[in-house]
A and B are shown apart, each in its own frame.
Chain A
Amino acid sequence: MTTVQEHAPNPAAGDPGRPIGYGRIQRKEDPRFVRGKGNYLDDIVLPGMLHGAVLRAPVAHARLVSIDTTEALAHPRVLAVITGKDLQALNLAWAPTLSADVQAVLVTDKVRFQGQEVAFVVAEDRYAARDALELIDVEYDVLPPVIDARRALDPDAPVIRDDIEGRTDNRIFDWEMGDAAETEAVFAAADVVVSQEVVYPRVHPAPMETCGAVADFDPVDGRLTLYETTQAPHAHRTLYAMVAGIPEHKIRVVSPDIGGGFGNKVGIYPGYVLAVVGSIVTGRPVKWVEDRSENLMSTSFARDYIMQGEIAATKEGKILAVRTSVLADHGAFNATAQPTKNPAGFFSIFTGSYDLKAAYCKVRGVYTNKAPGGVAYACSFRVTEAVYLVERMVDILARKLEMDPAELRLKNFIRPEQFPYANKTGWVYDSGNYEPAMRLSMQMAGYDELRREQLEKRERGELMGIGVAFFTETVGAGPRKHFDIVGLGMADGAELRVHPTGKAVVRISVQSQGQGHETTFAQIVAEELGIPPESIDVVHGDTDQTPFGLGTYGSRSTPVSGGAVALVARKVREKAKFIAAAMLEARPEDLEWEKGRWFVKGDPGAGKTIAEIALGAHGTMALPEGIDGNLDAEVTYDPPNLTFPFGAYICVVDVDAGTGAVKVRRFIAVDDCGTRINPMIIEGQVHGGLTDGVGMALMQIIAFDEDGNCLSGSFMDYLIPTAMEVPDWETGYTVTPSPHHPIGAKGIGESATVGSPPAIVNAIVDALAPYGVTHMDMPCTPARVWEAMQGRHGPPV
């Protein structure tokens, strides 16, 4: 059971008398999912379809000596075996990444991480394809690997990327934001300075559906239809056109129903390209679907940041400045999916929710012999790492100052009158009202009572912890002038058609991986046009059917496409006014809008509904000058700024002092995502993100041994929390609309993933205070908690 606190007034939700528009309605897509009628990638079967399988490297770093495919090719059901050499001949052995690097599609020279793609078999069925992998004979010359990012720049470290001319070390980038000198001056003059190394371990989003593709290249007309598990079909199509040389108008990318993305499905994986090559080579459709181990070992991981944090304050608890130096492990190729100008994503928002005098961060990215990636797992382009760092540092400061952590936060929030607020690292927070959210979470938690209970328990030797975290999210990129991915501006399109009977279809450039787009976007159109959501179909995920746009990630669907959809509906509404005026023989300026209908001012009986207007537009009447015969419109929306959702989270844990086992007893989440469209969908997003947070805080890590073997390649070793590890979520909300978004919405998809890990870790560290523990790194497994109680601080495992 879940507690929902409807504390805040919200004009846009919760009114049962409200006939259309926003509100808690059931999801339009769910009937097909709950009846098993979804159409996921692996459900797609095309006539004559073949199956591909990838041979992967068993070692982390090795020179490729030879590949012998003779036996595999002799398998009676095998049609093709593709190697790096074959791709070199097609100029496809290397492909550009989303971070201005290149990545091997198949190994040509050297294996750079365990699980890297070495060869691709195409066979009549998936069994034969798998069997044939064992018939490929590969000889490797094993090299010493670079596994620990801290050793990546040692003078004697092997150079991983010797494919890049002139490269002599494993450095990828050094990047800084903020004023170093100003920050140093503030630190030098501060009463109190605390510092702490904070590690956010490598984790993996592990979507329920793994990645896959079905490629269908038609050799007659040169047309490629590519079904993919992708969060960005349009961007993919453009990239395939640029890389593979297939003209863009001959490529159709379809993202069918997707079983979870979380950033794992933003980039282009070698398997997708190999399916395309397989289809070109064989002239038949080729399906490739990775298994769970392949997903965990080779696709985009998340985090892997080693952060040296510092925070400066007055002795009264006024926070003055934060500073950090970060070592970022990007794996063997820099393939993070992030805006071009932000090699560390949005990490520089690590100033959090606080009004500071100064801030400075520098981030160094390095190569290691591990799988590439880094931006995934609902991280908002690394706001996750930023929030985790500042929220841990604030807690450590509270301990140092012997202040209550909630009180310290309340004392330092950016005040409502300071918005729009320009922070010290170049961000302009659009809006915020932090104190009411913090106070609401404390009220829901019964904060003072919890602190009393904790005192009593401590006297009995029982370990109970209360963790507080406050976060400000940064979501909804563009604007396009600031944010692009490989040169493609981060804007989104929407097309709306109202059919003659008043039913509508809206085509959007983002697509759902489970977020509920078919409901949310119908609700936005419903609100703007005054027709019910069930009369509006949402088309998404097919580049032949939808306008160009950058895709769903970084919680950008509602902030960007939601804006586009509201604006396109308003455009249709405006056009409807002119048609209605003609129908009513009135002047447009004499018409007034009420939900679903234009009518003559002062004569409410004389009006036309959207359905009547649509029929008029498609009928035989003479239309006004300049109005064509439809009720359609299209827009591309370039948001003027990001949006900045926020939230106050409180976690209560009990720690078994004898075993170190942590039980998350309660979790209170107050979120503010601006205008709320469908509260049920918002709660679903929050519940999922909080569960992810429990996973990261308590049990998840993609670990490696010193040889570079991935130790987390299955769900036996990479743990996903179950219902048994999570409490009944207690959610509440406040509403602070975005001032620049057409409907004031801000995005909610990643808030809980960003905000929950620090709340949980803060609670655990709070519980361990009697043992003198001031920090521990995730995952807080029983063994690691026990070690922290012994005063030991081992590297995350």
Chain B
Amino acid sequence: MQIPAAFDYERASDVANALALLERHGPESRVIAGGHSLLPMMKLRLARPDWLIDINGLTELDFILREGDQLRVGALTRHTALLESADVAGLFPIIRDAERVIADPVVRNRGTIGGSLCQADPAEDLSTVCDVLRALTVIRGPAGQRTVPMADFHQGPYETAVAQNELLCEIRFPIRPRSGSAYEKVERRVGDWAVVAAGAAVALSADGTVDDAAIGLTAVGLDGTVPEAEAVLQGRQPHEDLFAEAGRIAAAACDPVADRRGPVDYKRHLVEELTRRVLRRACARAAGAGQG
């Protein structure tokens, strides 16, 4: 049995209380939701917070709501809820694609979308998903509420725009007509971190050309999306050659490191291959999608 260093624990009753507790206990306090990243790190004594602020009682952060031209998802929404939501599957199939390959059912039953984004692991799937869906994050702190686009949310590995005394409360996904999205991951085994994964979201114009495309990559040292690859798709008819070109650009743009999951050239190859696959699937889905 692996045993963490000593720590204290408080269970927050609502968002305001959670923020007060974070303020009171200061920089050595950490928020815990699903705990699937934090607890292993604590057991290995790589993380040693003095205080855990448990937000699992904050039911006001557990929701999936379609509102006008956006889908609002509470930060405490479990992976399983995202996986099983018909709204999510219909509007953003990339989320379902990704959730199917995130860990295993036990982890998905506990882990939350907010926890995934705030952990900001470079191999984390939902960050890529939120990047390509150009999501907005809603963060609350002592000074009130602010919204931060995904492009500004991640500030490097394991670092986000959420300050120590703030709480990520919600993620908002813009709904676009004629859009489609897809995610694909290569892993050594179910539940392993990605060797490489790629996500794409496209919106088509009425004439079938690409109105907007976003390409995101997981575990290859890239923050945000790949604008150079996205640019070549803009205004063009979806086509295999176009996907291949975007794949080549993405492969050149990323910055993978060699590790036990594979050498650099293999990871670049995967970026190219997977970018092609997710663009193909996202465009097909967009072509089959309605007006949103």
Contacts and interface: CB of A to CB of B under 8 A. Distances in A.
A291 B192 contact: no
A98 B45 CA distance: 35
Given A699-B188, A719-B189, A725-B190, A797 B266 contact: no
Contacts of B27: none
Interface stretch (A185-193, A263-271, A742-750, A782-790): A782-790
- Which of B1, B6, B192 has the most chain A CB within a 10 Å cutoff? B1
Contacts of B195: 782-783
B94 to A, nearest CB: 19
B108 to A, nearest CB: 14
Contacts of A722: 104, 189-191
A755 B209 CA distance: 54
Interface string A593-619: 000000000000000000000000000
Contact of B189 (A126, A658, A699): A699
Contact of A131 (B5, B270, B277): B5
Contacts of A362: none
- Which of A42, A698, A781 has the most chain B CB within a 10 Å cutoff? A781
B263 interface: yes
Contact of A659 (B2, B3, B273): B273
A716 B187 CA distance: 12
Contacts of A716: 40, 192-193
A500 interface: no
A661 interface: yes
Interface in B16-65: 40, 44-45
Nearest to A694: B189
A265 to B, nearest CB: 18
Size category of the binding interface on chain A: 20 to 34
Contacts of A714: 44
Interface in A485-523: none
Interface in B271-286: 273-274, 277
A173 interface: no
B186 A659 contact: yes
Which DSSP category, helix, strand, loop or mixed, fits chain A's interface?
loop
Interface in A650-708: 658-661, 698-699, 703
B45 to A, nearest CB: 8
Given A126-B3, A291-B2, A292-B2, A782 B188 contact: yes
B261 A783 contact: yes
Contacts of B104: 722
Contacts of B193: 716
B11 interface: no
Contacts, number: 65
A658 B260 contact: no
Contacts of A661: 186
A661 to B, nearest CB: 6
Interface in B187-212: 188-193, 195
Contact of B266 (A131, A293, A699, A786): A786
A1 interface: no
Given A130-B3, A293-B2, A719 B188 contact: yes
A468 interface: no
B1 A289 contact: yes
B102 to A, nearest CB: 13
A721 interface: yes
A717 interface: yes
A90 interface: no
A419 interface: no
A711 interface: yes
A608 to B, nearest CB: 55
B262 interface: yes
Nearest to B267: A783
Contacts of B263: 783, 787, 794
A797 to B, nearest CB: 5
A127 interface: yes
8 contacts: A134-B45, A698-B189, A719-B192, A724-B189, A724-B190, A782-B195, A783-B262, A787-B263
Interface of A: 42, 126-127, 130-131, 134, 289, 291-293, 658-661, 698-699, 703, 711, 714, 716-717, 719, 721-722, 724-725, 781-783, 786-787, 794, 797
Given A291-B1, A781-B262, 15 more contacts: A130-B3, A293-B44, A659-B270, A659-B273, A661-B186, A716-B193, A719-B189, A721-B189, A724-B190, A782-B186, A782-B188, A783-B261, A783-B263, A786-B262, A794-B263
